[in-house]
Structure 1
Amino acid sequence: MISSGNSESPVADRGLESVPSQVLQNTTSSIAVVGCSCAALVVSFFGLSQFDLPITKYVRSVTIHLPWDQLTVPWMAFTSDMGDWIGQGWRLAALSILLLVGAWAFEKPIFKIVAVQSLVAHGIAALLANGLKHLVGRPRPKFIHSGDWQITPSWASGLDSFPSGHSTASFAVATVLAKQFPLFGPLCFAVALFVALSRILRGSHFPTDVLGGAVIGILCGFIATAPLRQWRTSIQDGLRHAAMGMSALVALLWVLSRRMEEGEAGILFLALGIVAVAGGLWIRKVYWVRRGRQEQSRYSNISALLIAYGLAAMTTSPIVISSVGFACIASWLHALGRNDDPEESPRWFAVRESALMGGLAIAILVLVDARGVLPFR
């Protein structure tokens, strides 16, 4: 029997109709992820901007200006000098060259890939940072004697504070290394944070300068480690990771600098945080019980985001709650459409869960015992 020519057309039509629908859904999800990530970064930038002048004034108060600028606190002086030494551009470039030498000497192709990508990320970061420096024209902290200053394009020396070039380059290289060598990712970002902190202690930049540099550097790292045709996805992923990281840093600084919100609002925020953390831990228990099933990744993601949001609520700061909340929504939306989570080994599973529980314990300890310990408000 010869079937009719249009016997399969309804199925084909349904398949064709689903393609534009899926594309539209993915586009909408991507826009939402980018929007939430940007919102988290904007709120984080606003929150950190409130520390620009207090931190600058404190650094000046512990600095001897003659015969040269020298910090009187030993650990601050060490951080300032060592971070400045590590973050210099030619030393970061030398690291890439060493990786090239290692690729040739030990026949490790991955070293060559990382070396090239880190050089590309460093180059893009340098171009963007130096261009923005003069386009924004923000005065450096040593030229600020009050809370008022003008921001206008300028080529003058000293009017190039935003963003921090050291921070931008350090985070660009750290992002490449962290993506290619995930096991050393925390160490790479810790070094980049060390460099960023040194720029603040040195009196060369405001906290918001290093935050801007860190975000730009992370974006450069994501762009350099992916094919150019995927630049939209690279920017989306970079913004999402930067939003979560910067929100966490602002939350930590806020807790170390401010006391808990008093009154009914503080109590409500604290109760919300406790409930969210408890809910996240309960879901984590379910995730452990269901380990090996298809839903494990979803349970893990929801649990981690609930715990993160709960900790943010326990800071009792609306700014922190907003920034972390937007970052969590971005991560949740990103995870909704993912069906390609790789199977993880039991060892990696144990390491990840131990790190999560250890981080939770440290966060609670900081919330309980370290509120307002920093000497500025």
Structure 2
Amino acid sequence: MPVRWFAQADPGLLARRGLVCVLVLGAMAGVMILGWDQPVREALGRFGKSGFGHAWGVSAYWMGLGGVQLAVAAAFIALAIWARSFRWRAIGINCLWAVAISGIMVQVIKHLVGRARPRTGMAANMLVGFSLDSDMHSFPSGHAATSFALAAWLTSRCPQCGVLFYGLAGYIAMGRIISGSHYASDVLGGMALGLMVGWALDFRRRTKEVAT
């Protein structure tokens, strides 16, 4: 990684992004330590039983599926190639990387941690370690991770649409709690991971631009 990049980098940008990651991880730890996972899950779970809450949970599930996000990114790349736009093709390719990298990292962590999902009825702090059982793959939320990875990357390329990108990511992440699939700390953990992946891709882009 070129040392000269750091001389030209925006220290304020790096500091802000680093602070956001620290705050999100701190919130995740706080929720776990204070035992707020179960109360939040119960409160949002009651909302999830309503018609609107159920629709939110279902729509968030499909919008946040890695396969769906990859398909949308692939279609975006195909459209960019047809339009002969190198810039948008590069953005689309990095969307694929954002989903793939964050998704793989999530699966590794899920299998190693083995946290019981809310639907199992087990304690919120139940960790069994390595497991192939999907009911033990609560932490972190894959939907939150891939969605925030996409939001972070896309916002770095199109800042004026940041509210839309992060709003959609937040909608998907919240839907996973409402549907009872994840605890709040699972979503916060996925959010932190996704942000780091998306911003790492932007860091790589900036590094390549300086190198050339």
User: What TM-score, normalized by structure 2, do the two folds share?
Assistant: 0.80
- Structure 1 position 39, deviation (Å): 4.8
Partner of 1:45: 28
Query: Which structure would you say has the larger RCO, counting Cα contacts within 8 Å and 6 or more residues apart?
Result: 2
Partner of 1:107: 84
Higher-Rg structure is 1
- Structure 1 position 40, deviation (Å): 3.0
Secondary structure in 2 aligned to 1:92?
helix
The yes-or-no answer on 1:86 pairing with 2:55 is no
Report if aligned partners of 2:116, 2:124 keep a CA contact under 8 Å in 1: no
Correspondences of 1:213-362 after superposition (within 5 Å): 213-227=190-204
Report if aligned partners of 1:121, 1:223 keep a CA contact under 8 Å in 2: no
Q: Distance in 2 between matches of 1:150 and 1:227?
A: 35
Partner of 2:154: 177
The yes-or-no answer on 1:163 pairing with 2:148 is no
Partner of 1:125: 102
Report if aligned partners of 1:118, 1:224 keep a CA contact under 8 Å in 2: no
Partner of 1:56: 41
The yes-or-no answer on 1:73 pairing with 2:56 is no
Q: Distance in 2 between matches of 1:60 and 1:112?
A: 40
- Structure 1 position 56, deviation (Å): 1.8
- Structure 1 position 45, deviation (Å): 1.6
Partner of 2:3: none
- Structure 1 position 74, deviation (Å): 2.2
In structure 1, runs of 5+ residues without a counterpart are: 1-21, 63-70, 232-377
- Structure 1 counterpart of 2:134, one-letter code: S
User: What TM-score, normalized by structure 1, do the two folds share?
Assistant: 0.47
- Structure 1 position 91, deviation (Å): 1.4
CA RMSD after TM alignment: 3.0
In structure 2, runs of 5+ residues without a counterpart are: 1-5
Q: Distance in 1 between matches of 2:204 and 2:43?
A: 44
Per-residue Cα deviation, 1:349-370 (whole angstroms, up to 9, x for no partner)? xxxxxxxxxxxxxxxxxxxxxx
Larger mean CA deviation between 145-154 and 72-81 belongs to 145-154
Report if aligned partners of 2:80, 2:86 keep a CA contact under 8 Å in 1: yes
Per-residue Cα deviation, 1:74-97 (whole angstroms, up to 9, x for no partner)? 221121111111111121112211
Q: Distance in 1 between matches of 2:78 and 2:105?
A: 28
Q: How many residues align?
A: 198
- Structure 1 position 194, deviation (Å): 0.6
Partner of 1:196: 173
CA change 1:198–1:37 in 2 (3 A) is closer
Q: Which runs of 4+ in 1 moved over 6 A?
A: 31-35
